[in-house]
Structures are given as C-alpha cells and as structure tokens.
Amino acid sequence: MNVSVQSCGGIHTSAQCKLRYGPLAYILGERTTKRFTEYSKVITVDGNICSGKGKLAKEIAEKLGLKHFPEAGVHYADSTTGDGRALDLELSGSYSMENRLLQYADALEHLLSTGQGVVLERSIFSDFVFLEAMYSQGFIRKQCVDHYNEVKKVTIAEYLPPHVVVYIDVPVPEIQSRIQKKGNPHEMKITSAYLQDIENSYKKTFLPEMSEKCEVLQYNAREAQDAEKVVEDIEYLEYNKGPWLKQNDRTLHHLRMLVQNKLEVLNYTTIPVYLPEVTIGAHQSDRIFQKFTELPGRRYCPGYNADVGDKWIWLK
C-alpha cells in the first residue's frame, strides 16, 4: 500500500517516507481477499501482430471497470521508473520477457492491492510464441531457446496465470493486409512465414496449455469487433478451474510481497550462463552502469538526488 507524501507549507517530507505492504500489515489483519469482487480478475488478450488486441483489451477494461495495461514495449521499465522518459536501448535493453514480467508483476500488484481487475495485451505466458517463430525462421540459435526456456521455467512457476485468455484468430493474409495499412516500417518487413509460425505456436502450444490452467475464449476477426458479446461471454464464465481456486490470504500475501519487489521479480531471470547474444563483459557492464548513474536522478534512490532538486537529503 503506497501512500504518497507531499510537501506542505514549505516543510520538506521525504519521497521515501511511504507506507508499504509487508508482514506486519498481514499480522495486523490486512487481507487481500476482502477487496476481491466478481470482477477481480486477470484477463489477457492474445493474438498475432495487428490482430486488434489493443482495441478489444481497452474496450473490455472500460466495460467491466478494470485497469487496462497496454502491451509492454522495450521501454516499459523506463516508463515506470525515474521521470518516465525512454532511455537509450544500451541502458534499457530490448528483452521482451523481462518487460512482460515487470508488467505482469505490476498488474498482479494492482489487483492484490486494490481488488480492481486488470486487462493485459499478451503476458509472460504467451511471450514464447515469438521466440519459437524466430527460431523456426533461423534468427536465433538453439542455445538461446534453451536459455529462454530455463528462465521461463524458473520464473513462471512463481506467478498465477490469468483467469481468462481471450484469443483473436485472424488469418495471416488479413494480418499482412492490416500491417500494410498501418504502415509501420518495422512490421512491414515481417514475412508471412514468421506470422504463420506465431499463429502455429499460439494454436499448437499456448492455447492447449492455457486451457488447462484458465478459461479460454476464442474469436475470429469479425467476432472480436463485438466487444459487448466478448464481455458478456466473460461474465458468463464459471471460473471452475486453475490455481486461483486454491489460493487463500496466506498464499496471496506471499505473492503480493514478491510482485511489489521488482528487484526480486527480476532476480528470477538472472541465470549464470554464457551466451554471446545476451552476455556482456565486466568492462562493458561497468561502462553502462556509469553512464546510467550520470543521468539526472538516477545515481541514488528517488528523493536522494541533488541534481534533480532533492533537498534535505541528510535528514531523510
């Protein structure tokens, strides 16, 4: 539970003096399930590139009163830390799994802290479809796939899956047509074979796996345009399967403690292995770290950086 403290009457109050949920709150009677309602759900909208996920996810969130999380891009971590400005890719990296993991942790933290349900565009559970497509097209080596799967196995085990997966099934030819109309130069370079591999991974692996853990709803391109019908289907679901049924206040307490600690969240992705594609040397690491700390407000914790106007630092 974060409580923002603002300055009043010229008297400084530290940005670090904030209340956070912890073991003491649980001991004193703080219970997550007391805030839950029938709409306290995690919903993910999945589908191929340009399948209309964003539009449908936003409409579902608006109609059900849930919080919408747009798809996590390469600058997701930048947008949620510091002043929110995008950093150079050398500093922020370009690893989709870490960004999706951080976003999924943020979504779960919001759900567990407020009781308000969340709607995401894709998640850590579906991120692998791109990896399999890249490997199938010869863009990455088998060693990279093995490393990714090892990280995924260690990481996903700590998180609960969505309550509902909404999958939009759009044929590859129509996807390509939408990409051309959209005009994104990067997406326009994508081949039909790559798009087909993404679709195959969704249908042959992702959907069968998720159907055992949560509710799965599938719609074609036309059906996905009717958000009212999709919302109606979501409301009629019985939610009678999956690990969420086995949760109680104690297990949700431990999950909440994890997802609010983003350093701990990312620690699960740190597996010591040498891969030229992702491994950097000590000198390069030190250079990047020094470059990062030279950015305004990034040298110390928020509230302790004189270069961005923080005052009374020694009294905090």
Give pLDDT, residue 93.
Answer: 64
Amino acid 268: pLDDT: 86
Short-list 103, 57, 110, 104, CA closest to 76: 103
Residue 266: Cβ-neighbour burial (10 angstroms; 0-12, 13-18, 19+): middle
pLDDT at 269: 87
Per residue in 213-243, is it b (16+ CB within 10 Å) or e — as a string? bbbbbbbebeebeebeebbebbeeeeeeebe
Domain 23-279: give its CATH code: 3.40.50.300
Q: Inform me whether the pLDDT recorded for 297 exceeds 90.
A: no
CA distance 129 to 253: 31
pLDDT value of position 1: 42
pLDDT value of position 68: 98
Average of pLDDT values for 132-148? 94
Q: Which of 15-24, 105-114, 146-155, 170-179 has the lowest mean pLDDT?
A: 15-24
Return the higher-pLDDT residue of 281 and 182: 182
Tell me: pLDDT of 91 over 70. Answer: no
Q: What is the mean pLDDT of residues 2-8?
A: 41
Mean residue pLDDT of the chain comes to 88
- Give dist(CA 131, CA 141) in Å, integer: 10
Q: What angle do CA 192, 142, 194 make, to 5 degrees?
A: 5
Q: For the ranges 53-67, 191-205, 276-290, which has the lowest average pLDDT? A: 276-290
- 305 pLDDT band (50/70/90 cuts)? confident
Predicted confidence (pLDDT) at residue 216 exceeds the cutoff of 90: yes
Of residues 166 and 314, more confidently modeled: 166
Q: Is pLDDT at 7 greater than 50 in this prediction?
A: no
The C-alpha angle with vertex 7 and arms to 3 and 8, in degrees rounded to 5, equals 115
CA atoms of 208 and 202, how far apart (whole Å): 9
Q: Please report the pLDDT score of residue 2 as a whole number.
A: 42
User: Where are the extended beta strands (E) located within the chain?
Assistant: 42-47, 67-69, 118-121, 164-169, 215-220
Cα gap 96→52, rounded to integer Å? 20
Tell me the three-class secondary structure of 168-237, residue by residue: EECCHHHHHHHHHHHCCCCHHHCCHHHHHHHHHHHHHHHHHHHCCCCEEEEEECCHHHCHHHHHHHHHHC
Q: What is the pLDDT of residue 18?
A: 58
Rounded CA-CA distance 93/75 in Å is 8
* Across 269-286, average pLDDT: 85
The full set of domain ranges for the chain reads 23-279
Q: Which of 73-77, 269-273, 310-314 has the lowest mean pLDDT?
A: 73-77
**83 — pLDDT class (breaks 50, 70, 90):** low
**More confident: 313 or 136:** 136
User: For residue range 152-194, what is the model confidence (pLDDT) as tens digits?
Assistant: 999 999 999 999 999 999 999 999 999 999 988 888 999 999 9
